[in-house]
């Protein structure tokens, strides 16, 4: 029997498209994952609404994670998460906290550091230069001058990049989703680091991928775990090889070479999320996988992590054979990222302010990392295993397995200190239960010292 959307019961206090979206949500709870919904025209005909109203309702249901879209195929019921995950962007959301609260969970720099005045100048420059054109519709692939600027900056990595291979996105999260929608079909094997960024897990789960967790440590995956790729033959491998979130680790040269060799041998793509490689504290900026294999690596970069999260801008560098499909998926998603934001970002990146700001953040967070390391040694000692931060903003602490991290989280919260349990970053929800992540992104040095002291006292009560 063909699937139909049940008749609506219009609500006086809400738009019709929201009523339809709620009806789709109720229907989704009764259907198996990956069930295809009727076409937009069919839904509109069945319940007597315009196609535009149906599209608006499907957009609401998609944003809520109830359904997912496949370009050229239609809409499908999204699988319900089987494991508990952190909210998609919870670590990047601002919080109104009491002044004495210490938050080790946020993932973006302190707002006090945002280059507001420099951006104000760039904003005014763009408005004076472009006038009303600044508010015109952008190209779905992205504002050409911005793509040229990004290509010129990537040339410094000694990889010639054409602006036509760069897709502007609404941050890294959308970039991950666009690639997954283009490449991954329900049941496809997708390798993903374990532990990892929860947002990537949720994207793959919604598409019905078969997730293959690949354990990673401070130097990336072990050779034995990479050998398993020959058995599962993945379609995609998601990785944060430099200053990984949440562990802070970096792939060794051997791990990088082995992964790239397997990608060529088994014909899968690597989705490289360049989280915060600009924040390096020893030597030089680490090399990306994309630099060594631009034909196999899809490179993701967001400006949200270092610059301003509210910009919601990032980019993808793609091999030519994938660009058209990803750009079409972007156009379907939102017609293009806000043009004014792109123009302002381009003006800012072409000034000398961006490299100055990166240098400022490196110096600032290097100092914070040293404060954290000293505090961990002073207060925790050998009670937990951890590594000095070589870059980034995250420290990964492993406690004895006898310690209940959920209890530790509760005790710390009662004392005004917020921490992230390792299970929030687990692909399966069952690993890393004796670990926690500490982020110094939005925590000043004096709060770092005080927060670690509270953490140590709470851990001592449980050990």
Domains present along the chain, CATH in parentheses: 16-77 (1.10.10.10), 90-114+356-462 (3.90.1150.10), 116-353 (3.40.640.10)
Radius of gyration from C-alpha coordinates of the chain: 23
pLDDT tens digits in sequence order for the chain, 463 residues long? 456 677 776 654 567 888 888 888 888 888 888 888 888 888 888 888 888 788 888 888 887 778 887 766 788 888 765 444 444 445 545 455 556 789 999 988 888 889 999 999 999 999 999 999 999 888 999 999 999 999 999 988 777 899 999 999 999 999 999 999 999 999 999 999 999 999 999 999 999 999 999 999 999 998 888 988 999 999 999 999 999 999 999 999 999 999 999 999 999 999 999 989 999 998 889 999 999 999 999 999 999 888 888 888 999 999 999 999 999 999 888 888 999 999 999 999 999 899 999 999 999 999 999 999 999 999 999 999 999 999 999 999 999 988 999 999 999 999 999 999 999 999 988 888 999 999 999 999 999 999 999 999 999 999 8
CA 452 to chain centre: 27
pLDDT at position 31: 84
Q: In this structure, are residues 87 and 201 in contact, taking their beta carbons and an 8 Å threshold?
A: no
Q: How far apart are CA 427 and CA 23, in angstroms?
A: 31
- Map residue 47 onto helix, strand or coil: helix
- Calpha distance 20→188 (Å, rounded): 31
Residue 307 sits at φ, ψ, to 5 deg, of: -95, -85
CA distance 85 to 196: 11
- The phi and psi torsions of 426 (rounded to 5 degrees) equal -80, 135
Per-residue model confidence (pLDDT) at position 268: 97
β-pair type (435-439, 420-421)? antiparallel
**DSSP reduced 3-state for 280:** strand
Contacts of 449 (CB under 8 A, 6+ apart): 371, 375
Contacts of 147 (CB under 8 A, 6+ apart): 141, 163, 164, 166, 168, 315
Interatomic CA distance for residues 88 and 428, integer angstroms? 16
Q: At what angle do helices 16-28 and 51-63 cross, to 10 degrees?
A: 50
d(CA 134, CA 87): 34
Helix, strand and coil content of the chain, in percent to the nearest 5, comes to 45, 15, 40
* pLDDT for res 341: 95
């Amino acid at each position: 029997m063909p699937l139909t959307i049940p008749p609506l019961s219009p609500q006086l206090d809400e738009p019709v498209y929201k009523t339809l979206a709620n009806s789709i949500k109720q229907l989704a709870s009764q259907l198996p994952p990956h069930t295809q919904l009727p076409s937009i025209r069919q839904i509109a005909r069945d319940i007597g609404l315009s196609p535009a109203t149906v599209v608006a309702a499907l957009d609401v249901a998609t944003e809520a994670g109830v359904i997912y879209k496949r370009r050229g195929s239609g809409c499908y019921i999204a699988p319900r998460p089987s494991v508990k995950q952190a909210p998609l962007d919870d670590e990047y959301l601002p919080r109104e906290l009491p002044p004495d609260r210490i938050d080790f969970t946020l993932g973006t720099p302190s707002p006090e550091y945002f280059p507001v005045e420099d951006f104000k100048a760039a904003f005014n420059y763009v408005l004076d230069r472009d006038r009303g054109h600044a508010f015109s519709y952008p190209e779905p692939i992205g504002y050409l001058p911005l793509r040229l600027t990004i290509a010129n900056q990537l040339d410094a990595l000694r990889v010639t990049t054409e602006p036509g291979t760069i897709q502007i996105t609404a941050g890294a999260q959308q970039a991950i989703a666009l690639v997954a929608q283009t490449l991954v079909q329900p049941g496809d094997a997708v390798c993903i680091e374990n532990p990892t960024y929860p947002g990537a897990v949720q994207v793959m789960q919604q598409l019905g991928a078969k997730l293959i967790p690949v354990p990673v440590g401070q130097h990336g995956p072990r050779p034995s775990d990479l050998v398993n790729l020959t058995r599962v033959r993945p379609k995609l491998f998601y990785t944060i090889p430099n200053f990984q979130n949440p562990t802070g680790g970096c792939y060794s040269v051997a791990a990088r070479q082995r992964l790239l060799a397997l990608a060529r041998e088994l014909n899968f793509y690597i989705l490289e999320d360049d989280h915060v490689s600009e924040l390096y504290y020893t030597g030089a900026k680490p090399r990306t996988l994309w630099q060594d294999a631009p034909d196999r690596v899809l490179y993701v970069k967001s400006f949200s992590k270092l610059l301003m999260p509210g910009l919601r801008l990032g980019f993808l560098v793609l091999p030519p054979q994938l660009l058209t499909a990803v750009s079409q998926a972007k156009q379907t998603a939102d017609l293009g990222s806000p043009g004014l934001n792109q123009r302002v970002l381009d003006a800012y990146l072409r000034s000398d302010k961006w490299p100055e700001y990166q240098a400022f953040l490196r110096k600032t967070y290097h100092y914070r990392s040293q404060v954290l390391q000293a505090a961990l040694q002073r207060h925790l000692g050998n009670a937990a295993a951890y590594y000095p931060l070589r870059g980034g903003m995250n420290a990964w602490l492993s406690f004895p397995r006898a310690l209940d991290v959920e209890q530790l989280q509760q005790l710390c919260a009662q004392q005004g200190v917020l921490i992230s349990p390792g299970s929030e970053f687990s692909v399966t929800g069952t690993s890393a239960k004796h670990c926690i992540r500490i982020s110094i992104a939005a925590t000043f040095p004096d709060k770092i010292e005080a927060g670690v002291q509270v953490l140590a006292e709470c851990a001592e009560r449980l050990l």
